[in-house]
Amino acid sequence: MRRGLLFVLLGAGLALLAVAGGNLGIPPVVITREGEQKLILLYGQVRNVTQPGISLAIPFVEEVRTYDSRWLYNSTAALPIQTKDGEQLLIDYYTVWRVGSPRDFVREFPGGMEPAEQQIDRVVGDGVRKVIGRHTLGEVLKDERAPIVAAITENARKAFAPVGIEVADVRINRTELPSGAEESVYARMKTERERLAKKNRAEGEERARAIRAAADREARVIVATARKESEIARGQGDAEAARIYAEAYTVDPDFYGFTRSLEAYRKTIDGRTTLVISPDTEFFKYLEGPGRE
């Protein structure tokens, strides 16, 4: 019972001290709410960084500064930035950041949040210009958008880490062409596409000629090889026929002579052939009957 009453009285006393200190500008009791972080400075030097809850400070001697520990959103106006291929773009972006190290932050920005935001605008803006300036219009708008944003964010993190600022993200919010520049940009894009089309057509025609030449060369090789093989086969067939004829002639020379004569008759004599030759010529010896020598 007594212990509970003591806690109640102690809490009431601390509350009265906090109210009195707040009215008089004297901070004997420091109350840190969720989402806040407070610095207690003794003669300009950081003595303590508070956590949510109650802390104490020496009145008239120590100073208390309050900073938001939550993520903050810092947006900027659109900036004119030139790309690698000479195109002008209007780009605005925003930075998500917070006070990561209050000790470093108060050392670098004794004036508080306003000079910190001004430096964020300046440093991040320079980083956006440098990164965008190394890429073409197509890369910024489509092809390399994600790597560009990642590079800008990483550069901002490295730049602000020593001064107590933690950067979570830098995002490009809008990317537009300046007013009146659309027609010239579209004209250049059309000219570039026509140049690429001519180049592609020329390369296609060159490849087509190469393919046709290779096909013609291959066809000539195939035809020559086929002719060579056919001549070889014909020669082999003629040789085989000559061999067979020679064997037949060796076995029965008279029969061989007879068949050759009949073949000669078929080739030279038909229904419209008239021959004026001596009847006893050698050509007709097989037509006169057996016994003729």
Same domain, 103 and 144: yes
Cα–Cα dist 155/92, whole Å: 17
Same domain for 96 and 47, yes or no, is no
Which of the listed residues 53, 68, 83 is the one where a domain comes to its end?
A: 68
For residues 58 and 108, membership in a common domain is answered with: no
Q: Is residue 214 part of a domain?
A: no
Tell me if 69 sits within 8 A of 98, measured CB to CB.
yes
Run means of pLDDT, 10 residues per run, the chain, 293 residues = 49 48 53 75 69 71 76 86 83 89 84 89 91 86 86 92 91 77 69 88 91 91 91 88 77 72 73 69 62 50
pLDDT at position 96, please?
93
- The verdict on residue 4 lying in a domain is no
Q: How far apart are CA 31 and CA 38, in angstroms?
A: 9
Task: Please say which residue of 26, 50, 68 terminates a domain.
Answer: 68
Q: Is 78 found in the same domain as 61?
A: no
pLDDT score, position 200: 92
**Residue 196 within a domain:** no
Which range marks the domain in which residue 119 is found? 72-179
Q: Are residues 133 and 163 in the same domain?
A: yes
- Give pLDDT, residue 245: 73
* 42 touches 57 (CB < 8 A): no
Question: Of 162, 179, 196, which marks where a domain is finished?
Answer: 179
What pLDDT shows up at residue 30?
A: 73
Q: How far is CA 284 from CA 91, 243, 257, 261, 272, in A?
A: 112, 27, 12, 9, 18
Residue 44's pLDDT is 66
> Cα–Cα distance between 118 and 165 in angstroms, integer?
13
Rounded to 5°, angle at Cα 189 from 186 and 191: 110
Residue whose C-alpha is closest to residue 145's, from 122, 175, 169:
175
CA 54 – CA 14 distance, rounded (Å): 9
**Confidence (pLDDT) at 3:** 54
Does the predicted TM-score (pTM) go above 0.75? no
As for how many domains the chain has, the answer is 3
- pLDDT of 2: 55
End-to-end CA distance of the chain: 165
Q: Are 52 and 36 in contact (CB under 8 A)?
A: yes
